Amino acid sequence: MTSKRLPSGGSVDRAQTIRFSFDGRTFTGHPGDTLASALLANGVRLVGRSFKYHRPRGIMTAGSEEPNALVELRDGARREPNSKATEIELHDGLVSASQNRWPSLAFDLMAVNGLAGSVFSAGFYYKTFMWPKSFWEKLYEPLIRRAAGLGRAASQPDPDHYEAMHAHCDVLVVGSGAAGLTAARAAGEAGARVILCERDFLLGGGLLLSPADESWRKEMLASLEKLPNVEILTRTNVFGYYDHNLLGAVERVADHKVQPDPHEVRQRYRTFRAKQVVLATGASERLIALPGNDRPGTMMAGAALTYLRRFGVAPGRNAVVFTNNDSAYETALALAEARTGKVTLVDVRAQSSLADALTARGINVRLGCEVASFDGKTAMIRRRGGAGGEKIVADLLSLSGGWNPNVQLASQSGAKPRWDATLASHVSGDPVQAERSAGAANGSFGIGAAAQEGAKAGRDAAAAAGFEKASEFALPQPGKAEQPIAPFWEVKAPGKSFVDLQHDVTAADIRLAHREGFSHVEHAKRYTTHGMATDQGKLGSLVGSAILAEARGETVDAVGVPTHRPYTMPVAFGALAGHASGAHFQPVRRTALHDWHLRNGAAMQPTGAWMRPFFYPKPGETGWDPIFREARAVRSSVGICDVSTLGKIDVQGPDAATFLDRLYINTFSTLAVGKCRYGVMLREDGIVFDDGTTSRLAEDHFLVTTTTGNAAPVLEHMEFHAQTVWPELDVQFCSVTDQWAQIAVAGPKSRETLATAVEGLDLSNEAFPFMGVGEGKIAGVPVRLFRISFSGELAYEIAVTSGQAETVWEAILAAGKPFGIVPYGLEAMSLMRVEKGHAAGPELNGQTTAADLGMGRMMKKSGDVIGRVLAGRPGLADPGRPRLVGIRPVDTSKRLRGGAHIVREPSSGTSMGWVSSVTQSIEHNCWIGLALVENGEVLKSQRLFAVSPLHDESVEVTITSPHHVDPENARVRA
C-alpha cells in the first residue's frame, strides 16, 4: 500500500509520527490527523459495510455528516461503537475496527443481501411485522439481527467518568469559522461575556482550507485569547437548542487520548444559558443521487478539498469532480495541484466562466454533462439526460450538489427554515428566540462575506445583551460573486442511486414510499428510514425531498424537509448522565444515627432517598432470624428503633388550629396542650393522602408528623392551601425533619427502661398517659417524649436534636440493658405494624378512602375539610367498596403473597379485592396479612381464597379483623 500523503501542505505535524491500529493492522499518521485522514494517507479505501446491503463503503466526508466510516473505537470496557473516523482525533495507541461486517471487512457473506434487495426495500420493517409472529421470532429477527446492525457496545461497565457543567453567557457563538471568530471578537471587545464553541480540535472551520487566510486566522485567535471575558471551547459539539435560550453540548475532553488522565473526565455534558446566540455553524455539502454514488472512492468535493489542504492527503489518483455549482472548482484545482493523476470536472451547467482557468491547469472540463454511473474504477460521463456516454478511468468521484446552510440549531430554536431559491436550499427563518445566524449558516458563502456578517452578528448580539462598546478590526476581502447554482438532485440511470448511505435508502425507495401513500415528507422519512441514521440526513435529506417533490409533482419548497430535532449528532448516555450514575444516581439521606447503625452491623437499605437499617443481623442468623428476634424482643421486653425519617413539620400561628382542622378529617382545635392525636388527611378528591400524629406544644404551636415518603408532598399541600386558598389565615410552616432525630422505644419494658434514663418527667401511666407529650432530659440532653405506638406495644418516641442523637440513643441502650433491649430495624417494625393492623404505604395507595381503611368515623360532623365533599360521592361512599381486613391461612403452613387476589373459589375469575401487606407473625406462628376486600366488614370469619396466578398458588384464608394482635388496644395504654 503506497502512501497518499502529499510531500507538503496541511496542518499536520509531519515532524512527529504516531502509531494506531485499524482492524488489527498497525499504521502511522501525524498529530493533527483524523483517523479518516490517516487511513486515507495509508491508502485504506474500504472502511465499512453498509447497514442493509453490506455494500463496501469508503470515506465519504471529512466531518460529522459521515455516513460510512463508522468504527469501533478502543477495546474492552472502553469500546465505543459507531464513532465517525472523520471526527476522531488521531492519537498514539488508538485502536479501531470496522464494524457491520461478517466475517471480515473484505469478504462479507451478507453482501448477498444486495442481491435480495427487494426484501429490504422501503418499509420492510413494517411489511415484515405483518407476517406471522412465529416467523418473526424464529426466523426473521435472528436473520436481521445478524444482517443489519451497527457496532457492538462494551459489555463491561464504563471505567471512565463523566460530568455536567452549566455555563451562562451574554453571547454564545457556535462555530469558529470566519463568521464565528469575528462574532466572538466583536462581542468580546464590546464587553460581553462570550463563549465560543467549536466541534473540531482546531479553530478556524473553512479557514483551515484557505492558506491565503492563515495569517488572519492566527491574528484573530491571538486577539481572542487576550480577552478574559471570552471563553473558547474546542472539541465541543452543540447538539441541541432548547427553550429559553438553553443549548446543550458535549465536550470531548479526553477522547483524543487512549484513556483519560487521573481525575479527568472522558466527556463533559455542557449546558449554556445565553442571552444571545450567534449560530455560525457553516454549511454541509449535499450529494447527487446517481448509480454507484456509494462505491468506495466516492467523496464529497468539500471533503476531498479538506483532505488535500488540511491534511496533505490525496483522496485518489484519477479524479472526476461532478458538480452543479462553483465550489467544486476549487477541489478540481487542488487535485490538479497535487499532480496525482488526471482530473475531469463535470458540470451540469452548460456554461461556466471558470472553465478556461481549469483547462489551463490541464483539467478536462465537461460542461452540460452528468456522471451516469460510478463503479469505483471508472465513471460514465454523458450529455445531461442523454444515453450511452464515455467511460473515464477514475478512482475518485467527487460530488457537489450544492450546500445546505446548517440550520438545524436555528430550526430547533423555533425558527422555521425558509426556502432560498438562489441557493436551492433552506436558510434559517425569522428568529423566535434570541439568536441570529451568520456566514455560511446564513447562506453567505465565502470567507470575506462570512467574516463581515459574523462581525455584525457579534456586535448586534452584544448590543442586544446590553454591551455597546465599539471595536474595529481588519476583515478579509469579500470574494468574487459566484455563478448561480443549477438545482440538480438525481441522475436517472439504471442501478442503485443512494440518498441515504448509512441506512441504504435509494431514490427508488423514496418513489416507492410515495406510491404506497407515504408522500408526506415526515411519513416518507419513517417509511424509508431516510435521514434517521447517525448522520441525521445531512448529505441527502434535501435530495430525498426533491425526489419526493418530483414524484408528487410539486416544488421542493412545498415538500420541505423533516423537522430538525435534537440531537444533531449521537450523544453517549454516559455524557448526559454525567456524574449521576451508580452511587451518585440520586441523593441519599442519612439520619443522625447512620454511623451508629453502620458500626453496629446494621443491614442498611435504601428506602426512598433514605438509608435505613433493615435489621441488625447477629453471626449465624439467616433469613427471617434477625427480624423475629428483634420483633420478639419488642413484644416481650423492649426494643429501640431509629424513626428519624418521619416527616416533621412545625406549624405555628394564631390560626394554626383552624388550619389543621381544615387539613385533617378530625379535629385538632380541641387538642389539649401537651397531648398528641392521630390524624388522617385527604386529597381534595376524597382519597386518603397521609396520616400521622400531631402534637400541641402550645396554644398556637403544633408539631405535625407525616409518613416518611409524604414529608415533602404534605408540606407543599399545606403551603398551597395557606398561600392560595386561605391566605387570610395567620399560620407559619417550617420543616424540622432534619433538626430532630426521633427514637422509638417500644415494648412492655419501655417505661422501666426510660424511667431510669429520663430526668424531669414522671412517666407513670397516670402522669404521662397514652398520647401524652412531655419534656425531660436524657443524659443531660433536653428531649421531647411522645407516648405513641406503631408496634402495638407500650411505647414512646423521643425527639432529640440531631447533634445529640447518639448520646441519647446510647443512654437508652444502657438503661435498657437489664431488660435485654435490642435495636430493631424496618423489617421488624413492618412485621409488627401488620400484626397490629396499622395502614401504611401499601394501604395508603392513592385509591383508598378513610372509610375503606376503617377510619370513616373519624370525619368530623361539620366544618370545612379538604376532601370532605368529594369523599361523599356515591362511588367513594359505597359500603360495598373494598375494606381493610385481616387474613390468615386456614392451613397455617401456607405462605401468603402480597398482591394476591381475594376470590370466593380458586376457579373464580372475579376478584373481590387484593392482599396489600403480608408478614410472618410471631404472635400466630403463621403468615398473616392485610387485605382490601369488597364488603370486608360483613365477610369477617368467612373463608375465601387468596390466589396468586404469578406463583400458581391458591391459599384458603379466613377473613379477620385487621388487628391481629391486641384488638382492644390495651397494651398501648398499659
Q: Binders of another protein among 686-725, rule CB under 8 A? A: 712, 716, 719-720, 723-725
Q: How far is CA 563 from the centre of its chain?
A: 21
The whole-angstrom separation of Cα 344 and Cα 322 is: 8
Compute the least distance from the CB of residue 701 to another protein, in Å.
8
Closest-CA residue to 803 (of 591, 962, 630):
591
Q: What residues numbered 107-166 form the site for another protein, per CB under 8 A?
A: 161, 163-166
Closest-CA residue to 668 (of 868, 870, 869, 860):
860
Q: Per-residue contact track with another protein, 463 to 502, x per CB under 8 A?
A: ----------------------------------------
592 versus 771: smaller Cβ distance to another protein? 592
Of 265-273, 311-319, 338-346, 566-574, the segment contacting another protein by CB under 8 A is 265-273
Of 51-59, 365-373, 467-475, 799-807, the segment contacting another protein by CB under 8 A is 799-807
Q: What residues numbered 361-420 form the site for another protein, per CB under 8 A?
A: 414
Which backbone phi and psi does 54 adopt, to 5 degrees?
55, 40
82 versus 591: smaller Cβ distance to another protein? 591
337 versus 685: smaller Cβ distance to another protein? 685
The whole-angstrom separation of Cα 741 and Cα 721 is: 28
Which position among 258, 350, 580, 767 is part of the footprint of another protein (CB under 8 A)?
580
Q: Is 263 in the site for another protein (CB under 8 A)?
A: yes
262 versus 623: smaller Cβ distance to another protein? 262
3-state secondary structure 289-338: ECECCCCCCEEEHHHHHHHHHCCCECCCCCEEEEECCCHHHHHHHHHHHH
Identity of the residue numbered 390: E
Which backbone phi and psi does 604 adopt, to 5 degrees?
-85, 145
Q: Is 878 in the site for another protein (CB under 8 A)?
A: no
432 versus 938: smaller Cβ distance to another protein? 432
Of 112-120, 208-216, 296-304, 644-652, the segment contacting another protein by CB under 8 A is 644-652
Compute the least distance from the CB of residue 738 to another protein, in Å.
4
The whole-angstrom separation of Cα 524 and Cα 512 is: 9
Which position among 636, 652, 954, 958 is part of the footprint of another protein (CB under 8 A)?
652
Compute the least distance from the CB of residue 864 to another protein, in Å.
4
Compute the least distance from the CB of residue 403 to another protein, in Å.
31
149 versus 872: smaller Cβ distance to another protein? 872
Which position among 138, 565, 584, 895 is part of the footprint of another protein (CB under 8 A)?
584
Compute the least distance from the CB of residue 426 to another protein, in Å.
21
Task: State the Cα torsion 817-822-823-824 to the nearest 10°.
Answer: -160
Q: Per-residue contact track with another protein, 662 to 691, x per CB under 8 A?
A: ----------------------xx------
Q: What residues numbered 834-873 form the site for another protein, per CB under 8 A?
A: 863-865, 868-870, 872-873
Q: What residues numbered 883-942 form the site for another protein, per CB under 8 A?
A: none
Q: Three cell numbers at 65?
A: 455528516
Which backbone phi and psi does 274 adopt, to 5 degrees?
-115, 140
What is the number of residues in the chain? 974
Compute the least distance from the CB of residue 598 to another protein, in Å.
9
392 versus 410: smaller Cβ distance to another protein? 410
Q: What residues numbered 732-791 form the site for another protein, per CB under 8 A?
A: 732, 734-740, 779-781
Q: Is 802 in the site for another protein (CB under 8 A)?
A: yes
Q: Is 242 in the site for another protein (CB under 8 A)?
A: yes
780: how many CB neighbours lie within 10 A of its CB?
10
Give the position of cell 467527487.
398
Note whether 703 and 695 are within 8 A (CB). yes
Burial class (CB in 10 A: 0-12, 13-18, 19+), 21: middle
Q: What residues numbered 36-75 form the site for another protein, per CB under 8 A?
A: none
Q: Three cell numbers at 660?
A: 389543621
Note whether 774 and 761 are within 8 A (CB). yes
Which backbone phi and psi does 412 adopt, to 5 degrees?
-60, -30
Using CB under 8 A, count the residues that bind another protein.
75
Q: What residues numbered 183-202 form the site for another protein, per CB under 8 A?
A: 193
Compute the least distance from the CB of residue 184 to another protein, in Å.
18
∠ CA(931), CA(935), CA(941), 5° rounding?
70
As separate numbers, helices (DSSP H) first and strands (DSSP E) second, the chain gives 25, 48
484: how many CB neighbours lie within 10 A of its CB?
14
DSSP class per residue in 427-465: E--S-SSSEEE-GGGGT--SHHHHHHHHHHHHHHHHHHT
Of 521-529, 539-547, 800-808, 923-931, the segment contacting another protein by CB under 8 A is 800-808
Q: Three cell numbers at 2?
A: 503506497
The whole-angstrom separation of Cα 932 and Cα 843 is: 8
Note whether 251 and 270 are within 8 A (CB). yes
The whole-angstrom separation of Cα 418 and Cα 425 is: 8
Which position among 804, 830, 921, 960 is part of the footprint of another protein (CB under 8 A)?
804
Compute the least distance from the CB of residue 579 to another protein, in Å.
5
Of 92-100, 204-212, 256-264, 344-352, the segment contacting another protein by CB under 8 A is 256-264
Which position among 112, 153, 432, 558 is part of the footprint of another protein (CB under 8 A)?
432
Q: What residues numbered 604-633 form the site for another protein, per CB under 8 A?
A: 610
Q: Is 576 in the site for another protein (CB under 8 A)?
A: no
